[in-house]
Amino acid sequence: ENISDFSVNITDCTQVVVPEEVFFTVAAAGILENLLILIAVVRNKNLHLPMYFFICSLAISDMLGSLYKTLENIFIILCKMGYLTRHGDFEKKLDDAMDSMFILSLLGSIFSLLAIAADRYITIFYALRYHNIMTLRRALVILAIIWAFCAGSSIAIALFSYEAATVIPFTILFPLMMFFILCLYVHMFLLARSHARKIASLPSSTVHHRTNMKGAITLTIFLGVFLCCWAPFVLHILLARFCPHNPYCACYMSIFHVNGTLIMCNAIINPMIFAFRSPELRSTFKKMFYCSR
Amino acid sequence: MSALRLISNRTSQQALSDSDYTWDYEYYEYGPVSFEGLKAHKYSIVIGFWVGLAVFVIFMFFVLTLLTKTGAPHQDNAELSEKRFRMNSFVADFGRPLESERIFSHQMAEESQSLFHFCINEVDHMNKEKESQKGPSLESNTHFQEVPKSSGMFEEDLRCLTKFNIPNFVNTEQTSSLGEDDLLISEPPIILENKLVMKSSHRILD
């Protein structure tokens, strides 16, 4: 194996290493949690609703992300132990496949979050016609389109290299979607606030301020978590494309493993802020666990 | 991880001709990166990025909490007093005391929920669709799903809701049900929609 010739400077930014135990624990927790949600939705007929299908789509993309990281780590361990060569064709193809799985997970997450936000928006602003607008069949068609698009673009990005033409749309898509989701939620939030004001006949507004504070906290958590978990990786891709030899960029890129762990943490947190808020889903879990005892 | 590797390999092939690259999983070699003569701290991008992200999230939170407080107090009072006036006129028709408004505003959640359930069940029963097994749950999103899907559902909804006389429901906590002599005008479905919307929006955001 070739090691670069220049001497390692003490001031170099060495790779920040995340211990493998932490890595595998986080990944396993993410996979298990999301799998649990999928099983719960499949088993309970009451949960066959568009809202839960979108949550399932989010769970699947989270699972894919964690799975990718786990497989990659296993791959590295196998390489270290010498079972796999590093230069073979098979490894490269496998590597490409795993790359596309990861990008599929990211795109799937973004579009699932968008679908969940749009679904809630329609629930609030088209309340009485919701069941006509968002039928089960339409929800499944929407999900099929989303996943087909994500699969196509992830394969394209993984195969057709990392030219600027692919990196830039990818990195623009991310903040654009975030902004759009933020707008949807802010609009819903404003409506909730105005309705809370209308029904609160108490002149002292401490009650509904608290409620709206809760809404503000919830919204901030939704978007803050997604941003904090995915933005580091997106910035990493940008820097790797445009300034790989700059020392500042190289120092940022040395924390890549931490960024990867953050993405897996997102897979753990997402079910908590989306799926577990539903009482029906929680009661399904309780039934599942009590029945198994 | 491997995505990064591919990136670095390709750019290096374009940029440098004599660099050593390996398909290496453990660490990344970007060729000779000199760390001398750095003006700022070497982790400045990392620090700057995370500080910027934290500032953005906190800023977003403050904007959202400010949204709760916008609408000047006098505007707020005017709105409230106008609504109260309307409700008073409703209420006065039935001779209810004014204080009950407060009670109803607290209980409206449960009452409108159970009312809507009743409405849904009624519609289900009327259309002889398959029963949903769920009992009264507080999942307001699913409320809309329980209503059977048919093209004329919207009109049926209206009929159902007008039948159950939503604004009067407020009164039933103290008086017995007022029956069919309701004050239903064109407003109730809109009021109901607003209430439902409010309920579901609170459900989502809380």
CA-based nearest distance A240→chain B, Å: 7
Is residue B144 situated within a structural domain?
Answer: no
Between positions 93 and 122 of A, the ones with CB within 8 A of B are: 95, 98-99, 102-103, 120
User: In chain A, how many domains are there?
Assistant: 1
Residue B205 to residue A186: CA distance in whole angstroms:
11
Of residues B16 and A241, more confidently modeled: A241
The complex's ipTM? 0.77
The answer to whether the CB of A107 falls within 8 A of the CB of A154 is yes
Residue A68 to residue B121: CA distance in whole angstroms:
46
Residue A52 to residue A177: CA distance in whole angstroms:
21
Is residue B107 situated within a structural domain?
Answer: no
Is residue A290 situated within a structural domain?
Answer: no
What pLDDT, on a 0 to 100 scale, did the predictor assign at position B203?
A: 63
Domain span holding position A227: 20-196+214-282
A50: nearest Cα among A115, A113, A114, A104: A115
Q: Do B139 and A280 touch (CB under 8 A)?
A: yes
**Phi, psi for A126 (deg, rounded to 5):** -130, 55
Q: Which one-letter amino acid corresponds to residue A266? A: N
What is the mean pLDDT of the segment spanning B81-90?
Answer: 51
Write out chain B residues lying below 8 Å of A214, CB-based: 205-206
Residue A37 to residue A275: CA distance in whole angstroms:
8
Q: Is B27 left (phi over 0), alpha (psi -120 to 50) or beta?
A: beta
Residue B136: how many other CB atoms lie within 10 Å: 14
Q: Do A162 and B35 touch (CB under 8 A)?
A: no
Read off the CATH number of the domain in which A86 is found. Answer: 1.20.1070.10
What is the sign of the dihedral through the CA atoms of B119, B120, B126 and B132? negative
CA-based nearest distance A63→chain B, Å: 17
CA-based nearest distance A35→chain B, Å: 23
Query: What tens digit of pLDDT does each residue of B129-149 get?
Result: 444 444 443 344 444 444 334
pLDDT for residue B44 is more than 70:
yes
Q: Do B64 and A186 touch (CB under 8 A)?
A: yes
Is residue A202 situated within a structural domain?
Answer: no
What pLDDT, on a 0 to 100 scale, did the predictor assign at position A148?
A: 95
Is residue B21 situated within a structural domain?
Answer: no
The beta-strand segments (E) located in B4-43 are none
Which among A11, A182, A237 has CB closest to B42? A11
Domain span holding position B63: 39-68
User: In chain B, how many domains are there?
Assistant: 1
Query: What tens digit of pLDDT does each residue of B145-184 get?
Result: 443 344 444 444 444 444 443 333 333 333 333 333 333 3
Q: What is the pTM of this model?
A: 0.64
CA-based nearest distance B18→chain A, Å: 11
Is residue B206 situated within a structural domain?
Answer: no
Write out chain B residues lying below 8 Å of A15, CB-based: 26-28
Contacts of B126 (CB under 8 A, 6+ apart): B156
Query: What tens digit of pLDDT does each residue of A216-242 get?
Result: 787 788 888 888 888 888 888 888 878
Residue A192 to residue A189: CA distance in whole angstroms:
5
Is residue A287 situated within a structural domain?
Answer: no
Residue B80 to residue B105: CA distance in whole angstroms:
13
DSSP for A49-113, written as a single string? SHHHHHHHHHHHHHHHHHHHHHHHHHHHHHHHHTSS-SS-HHHHHHHHHHHHHHHHHHHHHHHHH
- Residues found in chain A: 293
Residue A129: how many other CB atoms lie within 10 Å: 15
Alpha carbons within 13 angstroms on the beta-carbon side of residue B178 total 22
Query: Residue A132 burial by CB count (10 A; 0-12/13-18/19+): exposed, middle or buried?
Result: middle
Which among A188, A217, A257 has CB closest to B201? A188
Contacts of B155 (CB under 8 A, 6+ apart): none
The answer to whether the CB of A105 falls within 8 A of the CB of A62 is yes
Write out chain A residues lying below 8 Å of B12, CB-based: 244
Question: pLDDT per position in chain A (293 positions), as tens?
Answer: 444 444 445 457 777 888 888 888 898 999 999 999 999 999 888 888 898 999 999 999 999 988 888 888 888 788 888 877 766 777 778 877 887 888 888 889 889 989 988 888 888 888 888 888 888 999 999 999 999 999 998 888 777 765 666 677 777 888 888 888 888 888 887 887 777 777 765 565 555 555 556 777 877 888 888 888 888 888 888 888 788 788 888 888 888 888 888 888 999 998 888 888 888 888 888 888 887 66
